[in-house]
């Protein structure tokens, strides 16, 4: 079952990001599944932006921040109006091994659900939470489930366990990419993702009571597949190693065990898989991060105009773009971004630098930074301990900010006290483009 | 089976890189795989070899090399 993930790697190597559909996937047992696998659904920033109704992916950060910050409450529909409950398998009839779950990377011990949106609720307030969290299918009705220790789902689970109860949990798989993006909104605790989804899609998200938990846990009515069950109190088993977003294989951990009570699905369900650590998974998460970072930084630095969280930086890097920042504003913005747990390095640039072009970012770093003056590090901030560079036993990270902006003009209307960028007139560029139009350049050297 | 000797990678000076990943060796197939500090702190949870599928207690591991 590594072949589908291998295809994604091959496509990435070629710089191509199409959606991949495998109509007749072969299961680990050798049997062919009738349920198609869809992957690479969100590998392309351009396609994800289009799914959100955004013309240019470069403008996603402020739009995502605005839409998810304008919540629309979900709409509850009946089971008869919920495609995801067209087929219901309860008890022993619910068989996880019939799903075409993939074994992606060499150290992965078995087939994993990688696009399972785990929904739990806070027993104190009843507010639900949703996050993509991995599950290793261990048997027909049993899987390990790894809610990262800092996650809101983990907090909910521990609250149930502290009451001596198993934790109700529902996993739903597959939906419109805009809904998938909505569930990646970075919210406070406790705060439901359904309303952020509604804001992003501009309409109430249709939800239906789950079969096992009723209206205590709703599920998206238009999802493809739902798995319902309990994270068993104080039961842990080995989970992983697992290929992570860092591009490295994360270590084996002790993870909760889920006992499945019910599975529902559409009649012609598609099974969605995220290529873990590939742009397929990084792009939607990073675009959602752009919205979060935009909101955080904009609150202290109004001259912020854009944010890019590049896939090649995993989740650790962010680029901030400013237009005519006031004194201290860039550093205020850099400090605000560093406080966001996921980020480890933040670079600020001017609005003449293309945030989405690494050669432009390197140009800014090469020509606008004196390191002792324009960079600062802060130790002891929260961050991802999956970062292979952290010290053994560390609980916090060392983070860095770089101000790669130029100084402002000394007075309004005056030129900045820096040299102008070299350029040729626009008319000459247009003429050059005409010269090259229609010329075959495929054999010309690129390096 | 006798308890394996847990080998520790000694911590160096703050500017020296020592890595952060612990490894264990399967007693059955002798394959190595990496394990987090959380599971090593819970000896009641059996380890699972991703190479051969064998479940075994920490005390049964062929070797454990612990970072930190």
Residues A270-317 have pLDDT tens digits of: 999 999 999 999 999 999 999 999 999 999 999 999 999 999 999 999
Interchain contact, B18 vs A394, CB within 8 Å? no
Residue A125 and residue A233 in one domain = yes
Residue A250 and residue A304 in one domain = no
Q: What b/e readout covers A209-218, taking b as 16+ CB neighbours within 10 angstroms? A: bbbbbeeebb
- Chain B contacts of A392, Cβ < 8 Å? 9, 11, 18-21, 67-68
Domain count, chain A: 2
The reply to whether B3 touches chain A by the CB within 8 Å rule is no
Task: Locate A443 and state its tokens.
Answer: 């054999």
What is the rounded distance in angstroms from the CA atom of residue A121 to the CA atom of residue A116? Answer: 16
Report the residue from A108, A238, A392 with minimal CB separation from B67. A392
Interchain contact, A253 vs B46, CB within 8 Å? no
What is the rounded distance in angstroms from the CA atom of residue A315 to the CA atom of residue A53? Answer: 24
Residue A75 and residue A217 in one domain = yes
Structural domain includes residue A161:
yes
- Chain B contacts of A389, Cβ < 8 Å? 17, 20
Interchain contact, A250 vs B36, CB within 8 Å? yes
Interchain contact, B19 vs A392, CB within 8 Å? yes
pLDDT, tens digit, 9 for 90 and up, residues A200-236: 999 999 999 999 999 999 999 999 999 999 999 989 9
Cβ count within 10 A of residue A7: 15
Report the residue from B9, B11, B42 with minimal CB separation from A236. B42
Residue A82 and residue A181 in one domain = yes
Per-residue confidence (pLDDT) for residue A176, from 0 to 100: 94
**Span of A24-28, A349-353, B50-54 with lowest mean pLDDT:** A24-28
pLDDT higher than 90, residue B13: no
Q: What is the pTM of this model?
A: 0.91
Interchain contact, A238 vs B33, CB within 8 Å? no
The reply to whether B65 touches chain A by the CB within 8 Å rule is no
Residue A329 and residue A382 in one domain = yes
The reply to whether B50 touches chain A by the CB within 8 Å rule is yes
Query: pLDDT grade, residue B3 (50/70/90)?
Result: low
Most confident stretch, A30-34, A261-265, A284-288, A395-399? A261-265
pLDDT higher than 80, residue B12: no
Residue A233 and residue A372 in one domain = no
What is the rounded distance in angstroms from the CA atom of residue A73 to the CA atom of residue A192? Answer: 10
Structural domain includes residue A47:
no
Mean pLDDT of the A379-402 span: 93
Chain A nearest-CA residue for B8: A392
The reply to whether B9 touches chain A by the CB within 8 Å rule is yes
Q: Are strands B6-9 and B32-35 parallel, antiparallel or unpaired?
A: unpaired
What is the rounded distance in angstroms from the CA atom of residue A417 to the CA atom of residue B47? Answer: 62
Report the residue from B39, B50, B55 with minimal CB separation from A107. B50
**Span of A160-174, A177-191, A372-386 with lowest mean pLDDT:** A177-191
What is the residue-wise DSSP string for A407-432? PPPSSTTSPPSSPPPP---HHHHHHH
Chain B nearest-CA residue for A138: B53
Give the gap in angstroms from C-alpha B40 to the nearest C-alpha of chain A.
Answer: 9
The reply to whether B64 touches chain A by the CB within 8 Å rule is no
Task: Locate A237 and state its tokens.
Answer: 């088993």
CB A283 within 8 A of CB A48: yes
Determine the Cα angle at A278 with ends A275 and A283, to 5°. Answer: 105
pLDDT higher than 90, residue A187: no
**Residue A394 maps to which CATH number?**
3.40.1670.10
Chain B nearest-CA residue for A389: B19
Residue A373 and residue A248 in one domain = no
Query: pLDDT grade, residue A368 (50/70/90)?
Result: very high
Using the 3D structure, point to which of A248, A267, A286 is the last residue of a domain. Answer: A267
Residue A97 and residue A166 in one domain = yes
- Chain B contacts of A394, Cβ < 8 Å? 20
pLDDT higher than 80, residue B61: yes
Interface test mutation site (partner B, options A137, A232, A248, A254, max chain B beta carbons within 10 A): A254
Interchain contact, A252 vs B48, CB within 8 Å? yes
Query: What is the helix (H) or strand (E) element at residue B66, kind and residue range?
Result: strand B63-67
The reply to whether B18 touches chain A by the CB within 8 Å rule is yes
**Span of A142-151, A162-171, A345-354, A362-371 with lowest mean pLDDT:** A142-151
Interface test mutation site (partner B, options A143, A243, A251, A396, max chain B beta carbons within 10 A): A251
Per-residue confidence (pLDDT) for residue A1, from 0 to 100: 67
Domain that holds residue A395: 299-403
Identify the CA nearest to A193 among candidates A245, A285, A121, A123. Answer: A121
Identify the CA nearest to A105 among candidates A274, A243, A241, A252. Answer: A243
Residue A75 and residue A201 in one domain = yes
pLDDT, tens digit, 9 for 90 and up, residues A411-436: 988 998 999 999 999 999 999 999 99
Using the 3D structure, point to which of A244, A267, A290 is the last residue of a domain. Answer: A267
pLDDT higher than 60, residue A189: yes
Query: pLDDT grade, residue A24 (50/70/90)?
Result: very high
Interface test mutation site (partner B, options A236, A250, A252, max chain B beta carbons within 10 A): A252
Rg (CA), chain B: 12
Task: Locate B42 and state its tokens.
Answer: 């819970």
pLDDT higher than 60, residue A132: yes
What is the rounded distance in angstroms from the CA atom of residue A385 to the CA atom of residue A172? Answer: 27
CB B40 within 8 A of CB A253: no
Per-residue confidence (pLDDT) for residue B1, from 0 to 100: 52
pLDDT, tens digit, 9 for 90 and up, residues B26-36: 999 999 999 99
Residue A108 and residue A198 in one domain = yes
pLDDT higher than 70, residue A50: yes
Mean pLDDT of chain A: 95
What is the residue-wise DSSP string for A261-321? EEEEE-TTPPEE---TTSHHHHHHHHHHHHHHHHHHHHTT-TTEEEEE--GGGTTTEEEEE
Residue A86 and residue A210 in one domain = yes
Q: Taking an 8 Å Cβ-Cβ cutoff, which residues of chain A contact chain B?
A: 107-109, 236-238, 240-241, 249-254, 388-394
CB A185 within 8 A of CB A279: no
**Residue A120 maps to which CATH number?**
2.30.110.10
The reply to whether B53 touches chain A by the CB within 8 Å rule is yes
Structural domain includes residue A431:
no
Mean pLDDT of the A307-331 span: 96
Structural domain includes residue A288:
no
Structural domain includes residue A42:
no
Residue A241 and residue A362 in one domain = no
């Amino acid at each position: 079952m590594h072949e589908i993930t291998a295809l994604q790697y091959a496509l990435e190597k070629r710089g191509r990001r199409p959606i991949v559909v495998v109509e007749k996937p072969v299961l680990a047992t050798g049997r062919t599944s009738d349920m198609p696998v869809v992957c690479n659904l969100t590998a392309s920033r351009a396609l994800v932006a289009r799914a959100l109704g955004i013309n240019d992916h470069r403008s996603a950060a402020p739009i995502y921040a605005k839409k998810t910050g304008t919540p629309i409450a979900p709409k509850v529909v009946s089971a008869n109006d919920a495609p995801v409950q067209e087929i219901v398998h309860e008890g022993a009839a619910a068989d996880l091994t019939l799903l075409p779950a993939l074994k992606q990377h060499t150290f992965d011990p078995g087939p994993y659900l990688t696009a399972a949106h785990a929904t739990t609720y806070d027993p104190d307030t009843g507010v639900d939470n949703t996050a993509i969290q991995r599950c290793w299918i261990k048997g027909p009705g049993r899987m390990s489930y790894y809610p990262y220790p800092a996650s809101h789902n983990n907090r909910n689970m521990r609250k149930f366990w502290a009451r001596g109860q198993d934790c109700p949990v529902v996993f739903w798989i597959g939906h419109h990419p805009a809904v998938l993006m909505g569930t990646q909104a970075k919210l406070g605790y406790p705060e439901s993702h359904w309303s952020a989804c509604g804001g992003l899609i501009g309409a109430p998200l249709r939800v239906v009571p789950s079969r096992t938990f009723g209206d205590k846990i709703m599920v998206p009515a238009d999802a493809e597949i739902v798995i319902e069950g309990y994270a068993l109190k104080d039961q842990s088993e080995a989970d992983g190693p697992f290929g992570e977003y860092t591009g490295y294989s994360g270590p084996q951990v002790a993870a909760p065990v889920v006992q499945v009570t019910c599975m529902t699905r559409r009649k012609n369900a598609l099974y969605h898989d995220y290529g873990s650590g590939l742009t397929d998974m990084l792009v939607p998460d990073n675009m959602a991060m752009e919205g979060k970072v935009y909101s955080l930084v904009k609150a202290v630095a109004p001259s912020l105009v854009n944010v890019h969280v590049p896939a090649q930086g995993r989740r650790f890097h962010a680029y901030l773009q400013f237009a005519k920042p006031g004194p201290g504003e860039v550093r205020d913005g850099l400090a605000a971004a560093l406080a966001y747990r996921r980020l480890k390095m933040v670079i600020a640039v001017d609005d003449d630098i293309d945030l989405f072009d690494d050669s432009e970012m390197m140009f800014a770093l090469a020509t606008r930074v004196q390191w002792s003056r324009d960079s600062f590090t802060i130790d002891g901030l929260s961050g991802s301990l999956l970062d292979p560079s952290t010290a053994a036993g560390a609980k916090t990270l060392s983070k860095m900010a770089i101000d790669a902006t130029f100084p402002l003009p000394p007075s309004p209307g005056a030129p900045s006290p820096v040299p102008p960028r070299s350029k040729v007139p626009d008319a000459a560029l247009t003429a050059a483009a005409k010269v090259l139009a229609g010329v075959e350049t495929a054999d010309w050297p690129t390096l | 089976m006798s308890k394996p000797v847990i080998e520790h990678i000694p911590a160096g000076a703050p500017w020296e890189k020592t890595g952060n990943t612990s490894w264990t060796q399967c007693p059955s197939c002798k394959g190595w795989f990496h394990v987090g500090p959380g599971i090593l702190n819970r000896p009641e949870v059996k380890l699972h070899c991703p190479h051969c599928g064998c479940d075994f207690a920490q005390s049964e591991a062929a070797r454990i090399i612990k970072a930190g």
